[in-house]
Each structure stands twice: as structure tokens, then as C-alpha cells.
């Protein structure tokens, strides 16, 4: 995918099994069986195992297992970055300089020590190779202060950087080995083919085989410096959801990652079903460009829509594990609004707002991708429910489903009168949601130009520069409250992430960036 915060491809991450290049083939059962082999079924969104190029959900699962990053997160908690290859880190008071001390004793899969030079090469390669994840380090200079110290310097305050560094795309590679196979720090890099078949990381697993369309097999790294992983081999298979359910039910797999709420409802009692709100936020947008619509730029119309939606009904439709979205920042991330601020329907208030708008029985088009599902939830029933809700207000909604490519093009180019989409985090930090402000990526997709709301834009600048968790949380809460009051976006809900596992699997936690950390999984 292209940079997710720069294109609408973020909206499809984890939701589409995109056609991938490479040889075909049917997923194979593992060669070995028993508790030492783990089989994971998922719908592949996978292009590469090269950490400098990967940004798809399945690729991040693989990258997390094979490569280590400077920082990480503890389980599902994304509110505090933790040491990984770096034993400590410190952000300067102005937020521009991040200093990291490297842990001693870490080695790559070939036994070579992880050095500061490897870190500098790896991060510079990601930034300058101009692959999908290069935006993560835009404006960041990487330097070795001494043999155990790395300094990352940003042009502007960058308090999000510690939250960005855990991304598996920023995994540290064995620079000498990779360079022997074509790795460089520019777009001429030719190491991808090698990295798709071999391991140049220091993680708990190594790549045994890799096929972007059928199966990835990992084997335990005997040179791993951390705790030995519970499974000797891990087989990740590309399987559609209905077959995932069948496989995990009969014991042919131990984990199914992509089942809908309906599919997990009838699971055998012997299986474990983990239901938790995903980090995806589904939202409505009302275009503010008068050239696109004479209706949706009307602030009272937006208020009527906001008050007219039956949020509780949508939540019921989404199923157990889902949650309402008080703002655009999901509940797992610093700065999220409290659940108590989740919206509730006010039908009379909606009718009053529509009357104040001066619009008489308005008709608007609502566009959305017809075949898109988010965590197993289809957009079609959501759109139909919203249509019925707004009819009670006095607003006629003309549903305009379209193939993903068509809908995506209209959304990306700001041509939708109203749109139904979702946003998933590029990284678990509230700064990733400033794209909803006027003149920013998603703001422009709603026809909301820079200068449209000076007060909100200034609040966004203040939030971006805020240092310290308490200050940042308050600043981003202020941004969202202003967005909810005056913006063209209506956050609806966070659909449930449903993961089914065999009773033998322990330690599974859903993570909004890498879905699941294989190395955390144990055996009963």
C-alpha cells in the first residue's frame, strides 16, 4: 500500500485481501504437528517481508516476529513505548531530539552483534529508500553518537516518535549481510528478494519459506537473545474467513484472525474467542465544498445528521466487542475521549437543526465501497441503517455503493457529497489523527480547505507541539471536541476484532499495529 496517511489505502488495511503478486498455490498443512507448531489462518494482505517496504497487516505480523525494533509495546498497551533493542530512551524538552541507548548482547540470526551502525543503516534505509513506510521518518535525522547511543533529530517537535519506532517496518536489519545482497540507503536498493527468503533480523523467529499469496513459514531463531519462543515453527496461511472458521473448529489451525461477529457466535465451547474493539474508527463525512454539494456544507445540516444517527442501533448491528466512537481517536490511543462522551441519538434535536438549516426535504448521496468489510462488518447494512435513521429526520439519503477502486478514487479526490469510511492508525499516536483537520489529508477529502476553521487549526498546531502525556491528552481531547462541534466528520463506532484460538494457546493480545505478537504466544 502507499503511505497510509497520504492515501486512502489506510482505510483498507486489514480489511481487504488484495491480489498480491507472486506465485499462486494452495495453503499447505504444516509438515510437523503437535504443540511445537502453531498454525495461524488469516486473509493475506501481504506484499513483502522486507521491513523497509512492508506496511500491510500480514507483513507486520511477520515483521514483528522476525525483526526487532528499538522500542516496542507491552502486550496490547500502546500508551507507553517500552525498551526493546534500546534499553532506554529520552526525549528532549523541546521534543526535537530522541536519544536511545542500545541494549548490549543482542545478536542477529547469524550470530553477529546488533550495533549502532546497523541501527543507523536500517532507519536511514527506510527513510530514503522511499518505500511505503518511509513517511514514518520524514524529517528525522539518524546519527550514531557513540557505539551504544543513537540520536534521532526532528526538524519540528516530534513527541510521536517513541510511538512510531515500535512499528515493525522500522525493524533493525543486519546491515553488512543485507548490503552483501543489494541493500542500500536509496531507491536503488535491491535487497527485497533476499529479505523475502532469508532472515537478516534479531527477532525470535526466522523465515523458512515465504509466498505472498499462500503461506509463510517461520522457524525459531536459535541465536535469539531473548526468551525462547514457545513454538518451534509457525505457519501463517492465506485462508478465506469461512474456511478459517472450519479449520479452527476442527483443529486444523490454532488461530483464526478474520472472523466476523456472526461467524464467532456459534463457536464450540472448547475454543477461546477474544472480542475487543479494534483501532479502526468508522465515520461519516459531509463535503464542505460548495462545488460538490449545496447541502452538505450547511453547518445545521451536519448537526442534523450528527443528532439523527441512531448510534445504539449501529452498535447493535456491529455486534459484541464493538464500541461507540466518541471522537476520531480510538479508545486504545492516548488522547481518546472518554466512553461517557459517546454520542446518543437526539431525533427532535435533529429535526430542529434541519429546520434551522433552511433546507427543505434535502436529498444527498452517500458513497461507500460496496465490497469492503471492516473486521468482518460490511458497510452495506451500516449505510442502510443510516439511510433509515435520516429519513426520520427528513433527509433523503441516496445510497451510492461502488467498487472499492471507484469509491476510493472519489473519496481521495474529495468528490463525495457524503462518504462512509474508516481510519486505522498508521502508528498508535494521536498525532496521526491531525489529518482530519482543515487542509490536511482527510480534511481535504471532505472539501475542508486550510483556513476554514482557524481556531481548530490553531488547536491542532498546539496539540502537535505538546510535550508530556498529560498535556498531549488534554490538547488532543480539545481538538476532538472542537471537531465534533464544528467539523464535517461524524465518528460512529470501532468494530470488534474477533480472534479465535485453540484452548492450548495462551498469551494472545490484539494489537492495533501488528495484530498479534507471535512471540508472546504460549502453550498450555
What are the tens digits of pLDDT across the range 144-180? Answer: 999 999 999 999 999 999 999 999 999 999 999 999 9
Q: Residue 220 above 50 pLDDT?
A: yes
What was the pLDDT predicted at 377?
87
* Separation between Cα atoms, residue 232 and residue 248, nearest integer Å: 20
pLDDT band at 524 (very low <50, low <70, confident <90, very high): confident
What is the pLDDT averaged over residues 337-341?
96
Q: Could you tell me how many residues make up the chain?
A: 524
Mean pLDDT, to the nearest integer, of 464-471?
94
Burial (CB < 10 A; 0-12, 13-18, 19+), residue 82, is middle
Q: How far apart are CA 57 and CA 18, in angstroms?
A: 11
pLDDT of residue 5: 37
pLDDT in tens, 70-105: 999 999 999 999 999 999 999 999 999 999 999 999
Instruction: Give ∠ CA 85-87-90 in degrees, rounded to 5.
Output: 115
- The pairing of strands 396-402 and 363-369 is parallel
Pairing of strands 71-74, 77-83: antiparallel
**Distances from the Cα of 46 to the Cα of 39, 187, 205, 349, 455, angstroms:** 17, 21, 18, 46, 41
Other Cβ atoms less than 10 A from the Cβ of 429: the count is 23
Return the CATH fold of 281-494. Answer: Dipeptide-binding Protein; domain 3 (3.10.105)
pLDDT of res. 29: 45
Q: What percent of the chain has pLDDT over 90?
A: 86
- Region 215-225: what's the mean pLDDT? 97
**Per-residue pLDDT band at 405 (split at 50, 70, 90):** confident
Question: Per-domain residue ranges for the chain?
Answer: 8-274+498-523, 281-494
pTM: predicted TM-score of the whole model, two decimal places: 0.87
Least confident range from 206-210, 404-408, 487-491: namely 404-408
CATH superfamily of 8-274+498-523: Periplasmic binding protein-like II (3.40.190.10)
Q: How far apart are CA 496 and CA 113, in angstroms?
A: 41
pLDDT digits (tens, 9 = 90+) for 491-510: 999 999 999 999 999 999 99
What was the pLDDT predicted at 300?
A: 98
Amino acid at each position: 500500500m502507499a503511505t497510509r496517511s497520504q492515501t486512502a489505502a489506510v482505510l483498507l488495511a486489514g480489511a481487504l485481501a488484495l491480489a498480491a503478486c507472486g506465485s499462486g498455490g494452495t495453503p499447505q498443512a504444516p509438515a510437523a504437528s503437535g504443540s511445537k507448531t502453531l498454525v495461524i489462518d488469516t486473509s493475506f494482505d501481504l506484499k513483502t517481508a522486507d521491513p523497509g517496504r512492508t506496511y500491510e497487516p500480514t507483513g507486520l505480523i511477520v515483521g514483528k516476529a522476525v525483526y526487532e525494533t528499538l522500542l516496542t509495546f507491552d502486550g496490547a498497551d500502546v500508551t507507553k513505548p517500552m525498551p526493546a533493542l534500546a534499553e532506554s530512551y529520552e526525549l528532549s524538552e523541546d521534543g526535537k531530539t530522541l536519544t536511545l541507548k542500545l541494549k548490549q548482547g543482542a545478536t542477529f540470526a547469524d550470530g553477529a552483534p546488533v550495533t549502532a551502525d546497523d541501527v543507523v543503516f536500517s532507519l536511514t534505509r527506510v527513510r530514503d529508500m522511499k518505500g511505503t513506510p518511509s513517511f514514518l521518518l520524514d524529517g528525522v535525522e539518524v546519527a550514531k553518537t557513540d557505539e551504544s547511543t543513537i540520536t534521532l533529530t526532528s526538524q519540528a517537535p516530534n513527541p510521536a516518535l517513541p510511538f512510531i519506532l515500535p512499528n515493525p517496518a522500522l525493524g533493525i536489519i543486519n546491515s553488512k549481510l543485507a548490503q552483501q545482497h543489494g541493500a542500500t540507503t536509496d531507491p536503488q536498493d535491491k535487497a527485497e528478494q533476499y529479505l523475502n527468503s532469508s532472515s537478516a533480523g534479531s527477532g525470535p523467529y526466522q523465515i523458512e519459506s515465504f509466498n505472498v499469496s499462500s503461506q509463510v513459514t517461520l522457524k525459531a531463531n536459535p541465536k535469539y537473545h531473548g526468551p525462547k519462543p514457545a513454538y518451534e515453527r509457525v505457519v501463517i496461511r492465506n485462508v478465506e474467513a469461512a474456511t478459517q472458521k472450519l479449520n479452527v473448529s476442527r483443529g486444523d489451525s490454532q488461530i483464526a484472525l478474520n472472523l466476523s461477529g456472526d461467524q464467532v457466535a456459534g463457536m464450540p465451547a472448547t475454543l477461546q474467542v477474544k472480542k475487543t474493539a479494534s483501532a479502526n474508527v468508522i465515520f461519516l463525512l459531509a463535503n464542505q465544498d460548495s462545488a460538490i454539494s449545496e447541502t452538505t456544507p450547511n453547518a445545521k445540516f451536519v448537526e442534523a445528521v450528527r443528532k439523527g444517527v441512531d448510534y445504539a442501533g449501529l452498535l447493535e448491528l456491529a455486534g459484541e466487542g464493538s464500541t461507540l466512537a466518541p471522537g476520531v481517536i480510538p479508545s486504545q490511543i492516548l488522547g481518546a475521549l472518554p466512553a461517557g462522551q459517546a454520542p446518543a441519538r437526539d431525533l427532535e434535536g435533529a429535526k430542529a437543526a434541519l429546520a434551522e438549516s433552511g433546507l427543505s426535504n434535502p436529498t444527498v448521496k452517500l458513497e461507500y465501497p460496496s465490497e469492503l468489510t471492516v473486521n468482518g462488518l460490511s458497510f452495506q447494512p451500516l449505510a442502510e441503517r443510516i439511510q433509515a435513521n435520516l429519513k426520520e429526520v427528513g433527509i433523503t439519503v441516496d445510497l451510492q455503493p461502488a467498487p472499492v477502486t471507484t469509491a476510493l478514487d472519489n473519496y481521495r479526490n474529495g468528490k463525495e457529497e457524503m462518504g462512509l469510511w474508516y481510519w486505522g492508525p498508521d502508528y498508535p499516536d494521536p498525532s496521526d489523527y491531525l489529518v482530519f483537520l482543515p487542509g490536511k489529508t482527510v480534511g481535504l477529502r471532505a472539501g475542508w480547505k486550510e483556513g476554514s476553521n482557524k481556531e481548530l487549526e490553531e488547536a491542532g498546531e498546539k496539540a502537535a507541539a505538546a510535550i508530556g502525556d498529560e498535556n498531549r491528552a488534554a490538547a488532543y481531547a480539545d481538538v476532538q471536541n472542537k471537531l465534533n462541534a464544528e467539523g464535517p466528520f461524524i465518528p460512529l463506532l470501532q468494530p470488534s476484532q474477533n480472534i479465535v484460538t485453540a484452548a492450548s494457546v495462551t498469551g494472545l493480545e490484539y494489537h492495533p499495529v501488528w495484530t498479534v505478537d507471535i512471540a508472546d504466544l504460549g502453550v498450555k
